[in-house]
Chains A and B, each alone.
Chain A
Amino acid sequence: MYDGKQVRPAYRQLVDWVESTSPESLAQKKQEAEALFRRIGITFAVYGEGGDTERLIPFDMMPRVFTEAEWRKLERGVKQRARALNAFLYDVYHRAEIVRAGVVPADLVFRNEAYEPAVVGIEPPGRVYSHIVGIDIVRTGPEDFFVLEDNCRTPSGVSYMLENREIMMRMFPELFRSSRILPVDDYPQRLRRTLASVAPRKCDGEPVSVILSPGSFNSAYYEHSFLADQMGIEIVEGQDLFVQGEFVYMRTTEGPRRVDVIYRRIDDSFLDPLCFRPDSMLGVPGLMNVYRSGGVTICSAPGAGVADDKAIYIYVPDMIRFYLGETPILKNVQTWKCGDPSDRKYVLENLKDLVVKEVHGSGGYGMLVGPKSTKEQIDAYAERIKADPGDFIAQPTLALSTCPTFEDSEGLAPRHVDLRPFCLVGQEVHLCAGGLTRVALKEGSLVVNSSQGGGVKDTWVLAD
């Protein structure tokens, strides 16, 4: 927010607003916002804490602001990355040219847990595997954006982006009247069009899309039903679908209805007991055969996870050069592979300054933030790395940008933020003008995951 000592122009209007509003009135607004969230029912299951796991993700009223010019650069970078990731996925399930060319090591692809032999050689419509790419980005300077990680399977959080905006508009309509803020509420309809644009080749009419959810016990069920509602499509569970002959059908009160596109929110291994885990009750028997024979599209495609692995991440800039012949617009964070002996030596010697992550982990679980850890924690983590070095990567702790955030005792205070914009990939590639800004609410903390005490903010792109 701050440009040296000066408030950046994009934030000027917001700062004027905060300064002209009394602390009491702000406190009241904060309570109102929380009440709205509770009424809507956005809660988030936190794993690993025991007890009551449903809780509210803290919402911060102070939005994060981008100018349109800043955003356009980010947009080009995210779309470029989304195209390269999809090209990589098509390639590794076909001729694997990038492996033959020696750009990405064969073992990293073919021996990857997320590599799915069952989909080798199949042609997903439009050659798209990851239809919703969520790219986690941090900013370290005015022009410096770094990608922390790519999410090619089902990046969560889009419902927060939409609800945060909804609540801000309800509570502060005057801010939206005086600023031209690019809309995010077209996201559900764009997602719906994206899904329709990847209808299978055997679909001969208006494509029917559904959301396949594991059910109401899942922590993200709210988001599944919210999106289904916003898109105007059905939300189904495995038992609502069945395979007959060439196609997948949904049971409805008017009889079976053919389904063309399935936006699934269940993991690969549960999709079909005849192809993956035989004990899965969440999936649809025969679904993978219909998919592989071109009778239905599954979004994201089974096997898409091989592109968002933290060990593969290192090679994304190479993918951009290899498939697109372009220079990467967004930078990767320098990453050390603990499986590599010289990298490992460096990592073990510098743990107190590094962030170490599990290669297959996500959600901020099981990571070490060196500068925030005790010597005992660091020593214990070093033992884990030595036991399975290939399972870990390390990155420097970045000087993340901060964003003004309401804090109970201090009023506005700087807190570290990251950003997850959502990129849709179908016949066209589209980036929603906003995203989920996650904020580390603890002073000085760099971990923004909601499971680790992070909160969320609205993200504004101001039109030029």
Chain B
Amino acid sequence: MRLSVRHSTLYQFDAPMRFVTQSHRLTPASNGCQKVIDWQVSAEGAEFGASFVDGAGDLISTMTLQGPVERITVVVEGTVETSSGDGILRGHREIVSPLVYLEATHATQPNRAMLDLRDLAVGGADGPLDRAHRLAGAVADAIAYTPGATTPQTTAAEALELGQGVCQDHAHTLIALAIAAELPARYVTGYLWTEGGGETAEASHAWAEIHVGRLGWIGFDPANRCCPDERYIRLGSGRDAREAAPIRGVSRGGGGEALDVSVVVAQQ
């Protein structure tokens, strides 16, 4: 499947900023299931530099802008040829040990309720792959997709207690459960093409990867009760949403900011 992406993020500042610095994880890596045809990240008036590929195989780049800055739009445009690989992350170059992903962060810290849910889900499971599938199913059952019920700061424990959330909450909760089951797990960001196309809230998407023995990393998308296939473009990863965030930024000097994100994923 050939997918084109246009992802723009507009920052509008109440008062002009002295400077804006951002770290971008906005460029997908080619792997066994996706081949990047063309890809470009731009922002008018900004300087790009200090780029490198990190140990998990993500291209990271730095964007700086000297003030006064009143507004800035970061635009990502590109085309990727995708194929389905049963959710298995094949041919991705990375050197970080999977054991690193057994350590929970604040957002993915398992609590008592999760340990109970884990026990319920994996009881009688046949091997790590089966355990991973069952945990993903348990998260989909436990948290109803409800936009607006949670915030970006909501932890896995809070989302599970609430029983509502969005893809970030599904992914965090699955990571917490997997860690509690001694399976390395991480947060993955990317884009999702949906039938009917056009602009959807879920086009900028997130899911989890669980490391399953010899198979390696396998994607699980509890929000859609499936494993990533040719509709998915994988962007980057981290131990939680904050570490994996496509854009992490600091703006200094002004007041508040308003954000407007638009993502269009289309089949070519």
Contacts and interface: CB of A to CB of B under 8 A. Distances in A.
Interface of A: 93-96, 99, 106-107, 110-111, 113, 115, 117-122, 242-247, 273-275, 278, 285-286, 288-290, 292-295
Contacts of B19: 242
Given A117-B100, A286-B62, A286-B64, A274 B248 contact: yes
Given A243-B50, A274-B249, 18 more contacts: A106-B97, A106-B99, A110-B100, A111-B100, A119-B55, A243-B62, A243-B64, A245-B48, A246-B50, A274-B22, A275-B23, A275-B248, A285-B249, A286-B23, A286-B50, A289-B52, A290-B50, A292-B60
Given A242-B19, A289-B60, A115 B100 contact: yes
Contacts of B52: 122, 289, 292-294
Contacts of B100: 110-111, 115, 117
A99 B98 CA distance: 13
A245 B47 contact: yes
A289 B250 contact: no
A244 B96 contact: no
A111 B99 contact: yes
30 contacts: A95-B95, A106-B99, A107-B99, A110-B99, A111-B100, A111-B103, A115-B100, A117-B96, A118-B54, A118-B55, A121-B54, A121-B55, A122-B55, A243-B62, A244-B49, A244-B64, A245-B49, A245-B64, A246-B49, A246-B50, A247-B50, A273-B250, A274-B248, A275-B23, A275-B248, A278-B248, A285-B250, A286-B22, A289-B50, A289-B52
A121 B23 CA distance: 18
B56 interface: yes
B249 to A, nearest CB: 7
A284 to B, nearest CB: 9
B59 to A, nearest CB: 11
A117 B95 contact: no
Contacts, number: 101
A121 B50 contact: no
Nearest to B60: A289
A363 B248 CA distance: 35
B265 to A, nearest CB: 26
B21 interface: yes
A317 B242 CA distance: 38
Interface string B230-259: 000000000100100000111000000000
A243 B19 CA distance: 10
A93 B248 CA distance: 24
Given A275-B23, A293-B50, A120 B95 contact: yes
Nearest to A110: B99
B148 to A, nearest CB: 23
B242 A290 contact: no
Contacts of B111: none
Nearest to B62: A289
B243 to A, nearest CB: 8
Given A278-B242, A285-B250, A286-B50, A244 B66 contact: yes
A13 B16 CA distance: 70
B146 interface: no
B26 interface: no
A99 B62 CA distance: 33
A277 to B, nearest CB: 10
A-B pairs with the 3 shortest C-beta distances? A120-B55, A110-B99, A245-B49
A285 B21 CA distance: 6
B102 interface: yes
Given A117-B55, A117-B56, A278-B248, A245 B50 contact: yes
Interface string B127-165: 000000000000000000000000000000000000000
Contacts of B22: 274, 286
Contacts of A288: 23
Nearest to B102: A111
Given A244-B64, A285-B21, A293 B99 contact: no
A391 B262 CA distance: 47
Contacts of A273: 248, 250
A12 to B, nearest CB: 56
B31 interface: no
A83 B203 CA distance: 50
